[in-house]
């Protein structure tokens, strides 16, 4: 039983509240304020500049495209992985360790790892050359091959960030008592029916948090893209970085930041609504 | 409706032998309880019959068909799980209808059968609710209704009452018996609770250490246990075992003499606490009382016979006190003789 | 009354313990593909890191190691700024660990042991951080960091990284402390400990492995973060920021060497916390 209310819990949470206030809430407000103030007073100038920039529509399109392709693929891949892993009895720990290694790898390092594979004189081209499919080194990651570059980024993102979805889903699967699936089996459900009628609905809360986490991160995507394609493939966070660091224009960078936040919040809201579990349906 | 034949089923987990050549026949429409302490293999056996576990060797035959290698869904059975496994994301109606839906039954038939099962278990009034809103007892009813709705040839129950509180357990037990009698389904019921097994089952299979020690009607198992374990496991208080010496067909304890079936081996006298009565004049088997516990309907006396611990049941009005030595009289026809070395009962000729 | 033996003929072993062999083969093939999918890029970046200039431009390449030497790696570490960046990364990650545990664990303890008005508001604040791309918040911080002298310091970077790691630490430690029965603490109080002593003597030792796992996660979060680190530093870059900056101008084998150095601690850390991975994420994703 929790003890009666006293000053102790407040003293315990106070440091983190102050910290999050100063470094989360304040910058949040600052960003919004900064984005709406060009020169003096309220203005949409930064947003106009952002929108009129050549790369803007490309960045929006690319970011959405990446998210819409990568996130669903990650969920499907992670579900397949999780299903396979739960069938294992021997070697389960080792397999899980290897599959979750990318969890600890930064997006920059992931981009570099795939660069080793996909660069002009890299391993993909060497393999294609050995198979007689190409005559010499081919560039996949240049502005001239946008779809190849896109595909490379998708691969690197799948490689890096499926692990986190996998971990969340396996953690969720562990919370589902095996009796549910067994009962369904006894009452005549085939494996696919058990998966769609029992496992997936019961996994909904985990799917929801995995989707929120991954989508928010996907809209922030940046270093993978830079490592593989430089500025050949503009994305929103990358543009924010360029406006801040190279152009030293904090206002437009803030406008990008607000845009990314707005999209992330909207996506979160959509997931919370679409995948909500009514309280009475909780186990 | 179907009979079940379990033929020399062995289950090994690695080097551990959970079941050692278990064979058992359950007749059509019969209710058999698998009774035993935890770890005796009873749940493993049930799960092998269900097909949730695969036996290392041996066969399971249901209704004349060898189902040993069939998937659970092809065995024509239903099961009630210990934690009910009522699906939290479906309404009670959909839970009860689940098996019928899997059989692709017509909507009208589903409705009819669900309603009949619901009526049987008195859950009609909350068919459209979700399980989270139900109490343990109500969920239990849903689990049973779900199993009965498919009109299974065989019903398997894995400790279905163990998660209920004592009062509800008694109520559900009675009701379960009535419902299953009406349905007439062949039932195998796993429990560690002897009163459940005694109250419900036509026959009880007492399991211990991966084997069936004895199978018989509740009365047989109670009155003539086949092993020391069965005697000690069944009945409350458990059977007393007193080491005695048999010479010339007679065992002597104090100034009492009992005819024993054989001569020349180490024997134990298996005596039920309720089969001994206080001798009016202190003669018979001497019993040293250490503790007296009034239980309302009777007195539970704990003490020793010939230096060996024993529990005896006495009438509630008996005048006894701790530290006293009393005499017990015993009906020789109601004692069990156990061979000390094998632990098996010695059958009287 | 006796055990009945049915009259079926005995046939050796029935099907094996779990899956039939054809499906087992399929399962292991699938897993082998997945394992290769994870490991192959790491292998190639390692080859790139140790292959030096020659290895990178060798054409066509073989998948077996060739021209490996430590020279490329030592050259890379010898470049001006690289070693400094490595140190900065370690400092920032170390500070992030300290801050997120010091700030997060007490909050987690409060959430686990007390019910108090404002509890749900606090939870909401913590959960709210997840709906935001936090690294982006580094953008407006530049100005105030310059004002407070935090700009271009590993300390400043660690502050924003703590914003990333703190919610995680609070939620994980909460469930960690909930898993330690309150009765242990109460027993310590009864036997004469103050609240603080009881915490130090009873709760902390039990929570230590979980706290260590939380710390490692905080470290990895900071070690890997690119965006905020790049925004908030100019000279005192972290390794990720440094690599990002030199991406376009440095030769490939240096990039691979950098990538390899970034990957190694992650692999080891994930190995160290593998037992906690699922417990931790099961909680943190609720």
How is residue B159 written in tokens?
Answer: 């400790």
B46-49 long-range contacts (CB < 8 A, ≥24 apart) are B46/B156, B46/B158, B46/B188, B46/B190, B47/B158, B48/B9, B48/B11, B48/B19, B49/B4, B49/B6, B49/B77, B49/B154, B49/B156, B49/B188
Residue C132 forms part of a structural domain: yes
Confirm if B227 and B345 have CB atoms less than 8 A apart. Answer: yes
Residues of C with CB under 8 A from a CB of B: 1-6, 8, 10, 12-18
Statement to judge: residues C203 and C95 lie in one domain = yes
- Determine the Cα–Cα distance for residues B228 and B344; give it in Å rounded to an integer: 6
Q: How many domains does chain C have?
A: 2
pLDDT at C120 over 60: yes
Mention every residue, 6+ apart, whose C-beta is less than 8 A from residue C150.
C144, C156, C159
Q: Which residues contact B269 (CB under 8 A, 6 or more apart)?
A: B240, B241, B242, B243, B244, B251, B253, B258, B260, B335, B336, B337, B338
Q: Name residues 104-123 of chain A within 8 A of C (Cβ).
A: 104-117, 119, 121-123
In degrees, rounded to 5, the angle at the alpha carbon of residue A224 between the alpha carbons of residues A223 and A226 is 60
Closest Cα of chain A to C172: distance in Å? 14
| pLDDT per residue as tens digits for the range B268-279 | 899 999 999 998
- Is C6–B68 a contact, with Cβ atoms under 8 angstroms apart? no
| Domain boundary residue, one of C69, C103, C130 | C69
- Give yes or no: residues C250 and C147 share one domain: yes
Instruction: Quickly list DSSP for B255-324.
Output: TEEEE-S-SSSEEEEEE-GGGEEE-TTS-SEEEEEEEEEE-SSSEEEEEEETTEEEEEEE-TT----TT-
Q: Does C8 reside within a domain?
A: no
ipTM of the complex: 0.82
Per-residue pLDDT reduced to its tens digit, B224-268: 999 999 999 998 899 999 988 887 778 888 778 888 887 667 788
* Chain A partners within 8 Å of B133 (Cβ): 280
Q: Are residues C44 and C88 in the same domain?
A: no
| Structure-block tokens of residue C112 | 């686990």
Q: Are residues C37 and C136 in the same domain?
A: no
Q: Verify that C53 and C85 share a domain, yes or no.
A: no
Q: Do B102 and A282 touch (CB under 8 A)?
A: no
Which residues in chain C are closer than 8 Å to A162, comparing Cβ atoms? none
Contact between A88 and C27 using a beta-carbon 8 Å cutoff: yes
Q: Which residue among A187, A281, A283 places its CB closest to the CB of B98? A: A187
**Which of C69, C90, C108 is a domain's end point?**
C69
Indicate the length of chain A as a whole number.
283
Residue C72: burial class (beta carbons within 10 Å; 0-12, 13-18, 19+)? buried
Check whether residue C224 and residue C178 sit in a common domain: yes
SS in 3 state form for B18-74? EEEEEEEEECCCCEEEEECCCCCCHHHHHHHHHCCCCCCEEEEEECCEECCCCCHHH
Q: Are A171 and C278 in contact (CB under 8 A)?
A: yes
User: Do C57 and C131 fall into the same domain?
Assistant: no
pLDDT band of residue A283 (cuts 50, 70, 90) is low
CB C46 within 8 A of CB C260: yes
Annotation: CATH topology of B4-224: Rossmann fold (3.40.50)
**pTM of the predicted model over 0.90:** no
Alpha carbon dihedral C193, C195, C200, C204, in 10-degree steps, equals: 120
Q: Which residue does chain B place closest to A177, by CA atoms?
A: B85
Distance from A177 to chain B by nearest Cα, in Å? 8
Q: Which residue does chain C place closest to B220, by CA atoms? A: C1
- Taking CA atoms, what residue in A is nearest to C224? A106
Instruction: Judge whether C6 lies within some domain.
Output: no
Per domain, the residue ranges of chain A are 20-52+235-276, 67-232
Q: What is the pLDDT of residues A12-41, one digit of tens each?
A: 999 999 999 999 999 899 888 888 887 667
The residue whose two tokens read 């343990």 is B136
Residues C235, C189 share a domain? yes
Q: Does A164 touch chain C (CB under 8 A)?
A: yes
Which of the residue ranges B67-71, B291-295, C179-183 would you say has the lowest mean pLDDT?
C179-183
What CATH number does the domain containing C209 carry?
Answer: 1.10.3720.10
C2: pLDDT strictly greater than 70: no
B contacts of C13 (beta carbons < 8 Å): 56-57
Q: Which CATH class is domain A67-232?
A: mainly alpha
User: Is any Cβ of chain C less than 8 angstroms from the Cβ of B3?
Assistant: no
C223 and C111 share one domain: yes
Pair C46, A105: CB distance under 8 Å: no
User: C31 is in which domain, residue-wise?
Assistant: 21-69
Mean pLDDT along residues B138-153: 92
User: Where among C41, C69, C97 does a domain terminate?
Assistant: C69
Fold adopted by B236-339? OB fold (Dihydrolipoamide Acetyltransferase, E2P) (2.40.50)
Out of A180, A182, A201, name the one closest to residue B52 (CB). Answer: A182
Phi first, then psi: give them for residue A97, nearest 5 degrees. -60, -50
C152, C226, C258, C274, best to mutate vs chain A, most A CBs in 10 Å: C226
Q: Test B72 with A193 for CB contact under 8 angstroms.
A: no
Sign of the Cα pseudo-torsion (C248, C254, C256, C259, in order): negative
Helices A107-118 and A123-130: crossing angle in degrees, nearest 10, is 30
CA distance A101 to chain C (A): 6
């Amino acid at each position: 039983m929790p003890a009666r209310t006293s000053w102790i819990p407040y003293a315990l949470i106070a440091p983190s509240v102050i910290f999050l206030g100063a470094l989360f809430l304040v910058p949040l407000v600052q960003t919004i304020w900064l984005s709406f103030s060009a020169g003096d007073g309220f203005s949409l100038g930064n947003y106009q500049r952002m929108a009129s920039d050549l790369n803007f529509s490309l960045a929006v399109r690319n970011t959405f495209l990446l998210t819409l392709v990568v996130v669903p693929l990650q969920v499907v891949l992670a579900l397949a992985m999780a299903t396979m892993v739960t069938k294992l009895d021997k070697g389960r720990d080792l397999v899980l360790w290897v599959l979750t290694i990318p969890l600890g790898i930064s997006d920059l390092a992931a981009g570099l790892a795939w660069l080793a594979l996909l660069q002009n004189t890299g391993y993909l081209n060497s393999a294609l050359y050995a198979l007689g499919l190409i005559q010499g080194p081919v560039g996949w990651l240049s502005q001239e091959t946008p779809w190849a570059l896109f595909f490379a980024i998708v691969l690197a993102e799948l490689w890096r960030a499926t692990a986190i979805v996998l971990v969340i889903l396996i953690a969720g699967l562990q919370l589902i008592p095996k009796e549910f699936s067994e009962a369904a089996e006894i009452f005549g459900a085939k494996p696919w029916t058990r998966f769609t009628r029992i496992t997936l609905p019961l996994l909904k809360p985990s799917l929801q948090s995995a989707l929120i986490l991954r989508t928010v991160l996907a809209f922030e995507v940046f270093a993978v893209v830079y490592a593989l394609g430089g500025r050949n493939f503009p994305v929103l966070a990358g543009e924010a970085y360029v406006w801040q660091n190279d152009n030293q224009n904090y206002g437009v960078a803030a406008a990008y930041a607000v845009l990314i936040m707005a999209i992330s919040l909207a996506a979160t809201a959509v997931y919370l609504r679409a995948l909500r579990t009514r309280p009475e349906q909780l186990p | 409706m179907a009979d079940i034949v379990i033929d020399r089923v062995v289950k090994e987990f690695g080097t551990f032998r959970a079941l050692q050549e278990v064979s058992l026949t359950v007749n059509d429409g019969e209710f058999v309880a698998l009774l035993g302490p935890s770890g005796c293999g009873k749940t493993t056996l049930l799960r092998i019959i269900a097909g949730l576990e695969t036996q290392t060797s041996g066969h399971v035959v249901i209704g004349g068909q060898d189902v040993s290698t069939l998937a659970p869904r092809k065995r024509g059975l239903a099961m009630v799980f210990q934690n009910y496994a009522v699906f939290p994301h479906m309404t009670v109606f959909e839970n009860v209808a689940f098996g019928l839906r899997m059989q692709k039954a017509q909507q009208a038939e589903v409705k009819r059968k669900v309603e009949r099962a619901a009526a049987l278990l008195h859950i009609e009034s909350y068919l459209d609710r979700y399980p989270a809103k139900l109490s343990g007892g109500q969920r239990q009813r849903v689990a049973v209704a779900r199993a009965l709705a498919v009109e299974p040839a065989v019903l398997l129950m894995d400790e279905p009452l163990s998660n209920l509180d004592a009062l509800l357990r008694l109520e559900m037990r009675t009701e379960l018996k009535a419902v299953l009698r009406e349905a007439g389904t062949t039932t195998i019921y796993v429990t560690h609770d002897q009163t459940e097994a005694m109250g419900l089952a036509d026959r009880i299979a007492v399991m211990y250490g991966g084997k069936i020690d004895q199978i018989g009607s509740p009365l047989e198992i109670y009155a003539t246990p086949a092993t020391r374990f069965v005697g000690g496991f069944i009945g409350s208080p458990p059977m007393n075992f007193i080491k005695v010496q048999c010479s010339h067909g007679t065992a002597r304890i104090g100034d009492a003499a009992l005819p024993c079936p054989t001569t020349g081996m180490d024997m134990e006298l298996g005596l039920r606490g309720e089969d001994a009565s206080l001798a009016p004049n202190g003669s018979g088997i001497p019993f040293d009382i250490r503790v007296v516990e009034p239980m309302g309907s009777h007195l539970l006396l704990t003490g020793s016979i010939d230096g060996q611990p024993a529990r005896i049941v006495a009438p509630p009005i008996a005048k006894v006190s701790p530290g006293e030595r009393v005499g017990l009289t015993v009906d020789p026809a109601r004692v069990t003789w156990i061979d000390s070395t094998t632990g098996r009962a010695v059958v009287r000729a | 009354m006796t055990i009945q033996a049915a009259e079926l003929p005995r046939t050796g072993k029935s099907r094996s313990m779990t899956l039939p062999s054809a499906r087992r083969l399929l399962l292991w093939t699938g897993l082998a593909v997945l394992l290769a999918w994870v490991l192959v890029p790491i292998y190639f970046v390692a080859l790139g890191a140790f292959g030096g200039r020659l290895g990178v431009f060798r054409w066509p390449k073989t998948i077996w190691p060739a021209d490996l030497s430590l020279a490329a790696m030592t050259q890379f570490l010898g470049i001006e700024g690289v070693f400094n960046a490595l140190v900065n990364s370690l400092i920032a990650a170390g500070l992030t660990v300290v801050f997120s545990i010091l700030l997060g664990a007490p909050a987690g303890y409060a959430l686990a042991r007390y019910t108090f008005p404002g509890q749900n508001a606090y939870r909401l604040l913590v959960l709210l951080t997840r709906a935001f791309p936090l690294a982006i918040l580094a953008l407006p911080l530049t100005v105030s960091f310059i004002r407070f002298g935090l700009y271009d310091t590993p300390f400043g970077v660690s502050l924003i990284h703590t914003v990333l790691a703190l919610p995680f630490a609070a939620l994980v430690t909460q469930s960690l402390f909930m898993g330690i029965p309150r009765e242990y603490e109460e027993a310590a109080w009864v036997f004469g400990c103050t609240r603080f002593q009881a915490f130090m003597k009873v709760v902390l030792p039990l929570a230590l492995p979980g706290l260590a796992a939380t710390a490692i996660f905080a470290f990895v979060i900071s070690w890997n973060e690119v965006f905020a680190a790049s925004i908030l530093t100019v000279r005192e870059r972290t390794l990720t920021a440094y690599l990002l900056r030199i991406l376009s101008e440095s030769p490939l084998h240096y990039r691979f060497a950098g990538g390899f150095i970034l990957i190694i601690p992650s692999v080891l850390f994930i190995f160290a916390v593998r037992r906690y991975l699922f417990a931790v994420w099961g909680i943190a994703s609720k």
